[in-house]
C-alpha cells in the first residue's frame, strides 16, 4: 500500500488548515449518503491480498491520520452493516484473519486491556495492513502494532472516535454531509500532516499551520461527481485569523484558475464570523479536479 491521499477532500482540508479533545485528524465516511460509496472505493486505497477492503466495511467508518510516519488507521463499529453489501458482516472474520496472518498472528496487550493482533511476516516498513485491535465492539485496522497501541491510548472509550471534540458545527452541510472531518494541532500534528503533503500537492498550502487551533467541516457529493462543502477553522488569535483568511483567499483563487484548465466549475467563498474562518466550496467535477491538485503517481 502506497501513500493514502484523500484526494480533493484532504486537499480542500489543507487549503485552510484543525479540537482539543481528540488528538487526531479524523474523517467520517457514510457510504449510504449520495456519491460517497463511489468516491470512497475509488480514492481510499486500503488493500489486503489485492482486494480494496473499503467495500467490505460497514456503511459508516472512520479514517484516522494521526501518525505521519505510518498509514492511516481504519475504525468502525463491529456488527454494523452496509445496506448494499453483506460483505461487511465478514469483516470480523476472514478479513481480519488475512490482515493479522491467521494462525501465524501474534498479539500484544493494549492500554485498555484490548488485544492487538499483528502479522509478524509482514514488515511494517512496507506500510501494509498488518494489524488490528478489537475493543468493546469496535475494530481498528492499521499497519504498525505500535501505531494502534499509541492511538488507542488517546481514547477513554472506542466510541470517542466518532466524537468531533469541542467544535460541533451547526451548518447544514454538517448534518447532511457524507464526509465529515475534525481534528487538532496538538503535538504539531497538523504541521506534520502539512509537511508530509508538500511533495504531492500542486497548490500552495497555509503558510504557518501553527496559527490554527481547531477545525471541523463536511462535504456532500453527488453521483455526477459534484462536491460541495463547508469548513470552519478556529485560529489561535486575532492576527492568525487575518493571516489564515488571506492565505485561504490566495489558495482558493489558485485552485479556481487550475480548475479552469479542466473545465470544472468552482466556487469558493471565504469570510470570518464569530472568530472563525469560514470556507464554502463547490467543485463541479472532483474527478477532473484531482489532476490539478494531486501530483500523478
Give CA–CA dist 189/26, Å, rounded: 12
Distances (CA, A) of 129 to 43, 100, 141, 215, 288: 17, 8, 7, 28, 29
Q: Which three cell numbers stand for residue 99?
A: 490482515
Kindly state whether residue 5 falls inside one of the protein's structural domains. Answer: no
Q: pLDDT tens for residues 136-151? A: 999 999 999 999 999 9
Q: Which three cell numbers stand for residue 197?
A: 503533503
Q: How many domains does the chain have?
A: 2
166 or 59, which is more confident:
59
Kindly state whether residue 235 falls inside one of the protein's structural domains. Answer: yes
* 146 & 199 share domain: no
Specify the DSSP element, H or E, that contains 38.
helix 36-43
Give CA–CA dist 203/252, Å, rounded: 9
Q: Which three cell numbers stand for residue 262?
A: 479542466
pLDDT mean over 68-92: 69
Q: Are 254 and 15 in contact (CB under 8 A)?
A: no
Question: Predicted confidence band at 295 (pLDDT cuts at 50, 70, 90)?
Answer: low
Kindly state whether residue 17 falls inside one of the protein's structural domains. Answer: no
Kindly state whether residue 245 falls inside one of the protein's structural domains. Answer: yes
Residue 222 has pLDDT above 70, yes or no: yes
Q: pLDDT tens for residues 113-171? A: 999 999 999 998 888 999 999 999 999 999 999 999 999 998 999 999 998 766 778 88
Give CA–CA dist 128/144, Å, rounded: 9
The partner residues of 117 in beta bridges, in order of sequence, read 107, 132
Domain final residue pick, 114, 139, 161: 161
**Which residues 6+ apart lie within 8 Å of 72 measured at CB?**
4, 63, 64, 65, 142
* 144 & 179 share domain: no
* 90 & 197 share domain: no
Which own/partner pairs from 118-125 qualify as long-range (CB within 8 Å, at least 24 positions apart)?
Answer: 118/145, 124/70
Predicted local confidence at residue 183, as pLDDT = 77
* 275 & 180 share domain: yes
Q: Are 134 and 93 in contact (CB under 8 A)?
A: no
Most confident of 23-37, 59-73, 126-140, 170-184: 126-140
Kindly state whether residue 96 falls inside one of the protein's structural domains. Answer: yes
* 32 & 136 share domain: yes
* 178 & 156 share domain: no
Kindly state whether residue 4 falls inside one of the protein's structural domains. Answer: no
Domain that holds residue 214: 172-293
Nearest of 234, 201, 233, 219 to residue 283 by alpha carbon: 219
**Which three-class secondary structure state does DSSP give residue 212?**
strand
**Sheet harboring 179-184: ordered strands across?**
106-109, 115-118, 131-135, 138-142, 73-77, 60-64, 26-30, 179-184, 212-221, 227-235, 276-283, 266-273
Kindly state whether residue 241 falls inside one of the protein's structural domains. Answer: yes
Give CA–CA dist 134/157, Å, rounded: 12
Residue 65 has pLDDT above 90, yes or no: no
pLDDT mean over 184-211: 67
pLDDT mean over 69-96: 72
Predicted local confidence at residue 93, as pLDDT = 74
Amino acid at each position: 500500500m502506497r501513500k493514502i491521499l484523500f484526494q480533493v477532500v484532504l486537499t480542500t482540508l489543507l487549503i485552510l488548515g484543525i479540537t482539543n479533545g481528540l488528538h487526531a485528524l479524523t474523517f467520517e465516511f457514510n457510504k449510504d449518503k449520495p456519491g460517497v460509496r463511489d468516491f470512497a472505493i475509488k480514492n481510499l486505497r486500503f488493500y489486503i491480498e489485492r482486494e480494496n477492503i473499503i467495500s467490505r466495511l460497514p456503511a459508516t467508518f472512520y479514517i484516522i491520520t494521526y501518525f505521519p510516519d505510518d498509514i492511516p488507521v481504519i475504525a468502525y463499529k463491529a456488527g454494523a452493516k452496509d445496506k448494499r453489501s453483506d460483505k461487511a458482516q465478514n469483516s470480523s472474520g476472514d478479513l481480519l484473519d488475512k490482515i493479522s496472518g491467521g494462525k501465524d498472528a501474534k498479539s500484544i496487550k493494549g492500554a485498555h486491556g484490548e488485544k492487538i493482533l499483528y502479522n509478524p511476516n509482514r514488515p511494517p516498513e512496507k506500510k501494509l495492513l498488518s494489524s488490528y485491535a478489537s475493543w468493546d465492539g469496535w475494530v481498528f485496522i492499521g499497519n504498525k502494532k505500535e501505531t494502534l497501541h499509541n492511538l488507542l491510548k488517546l481514547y477513554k472509550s472506542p466510541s470517542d472516535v466518532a466524537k468531533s471534540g469541542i467544535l460541533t458545527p451547526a451548518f447544514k452541510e454538517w448534518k447532511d454531509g457524507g464526509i465529515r472531518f475534525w481534528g487538532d494541532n496538538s503535538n504539531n500534528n497538523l504541521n506534520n500532516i502539512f509537511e508530509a503533503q508538500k511533495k504531492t500537492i500542486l497548490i500552495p498550502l497555509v503558510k504557518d499551520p501553527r496559527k490554527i487551533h481547531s477545525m471541523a467541516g463536511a462535504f456532500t457529493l453527488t453521483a455526477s461527481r459534484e462536491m460541495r462543502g463547508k469548513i470552519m477553522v478556529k485560529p489561535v488569535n486575532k492576527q492568525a485569523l487575518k493571516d489564515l483568511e488571506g492565505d485561504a483567499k490566495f489558495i482558493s483563487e489558485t485552485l479556481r484558475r487550475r480548475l479552469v484548465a479542466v473545465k470544472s466549475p468552482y466556487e469558493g467563498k471565504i469570510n470570518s464570523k464569530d472568530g472563525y474562518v469560514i470556507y464554502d466550496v463547490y467543485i463541479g467535477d472532483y474527478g477532473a479536479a484531482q489532476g490539478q491538485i494531486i501530483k500523478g503517481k
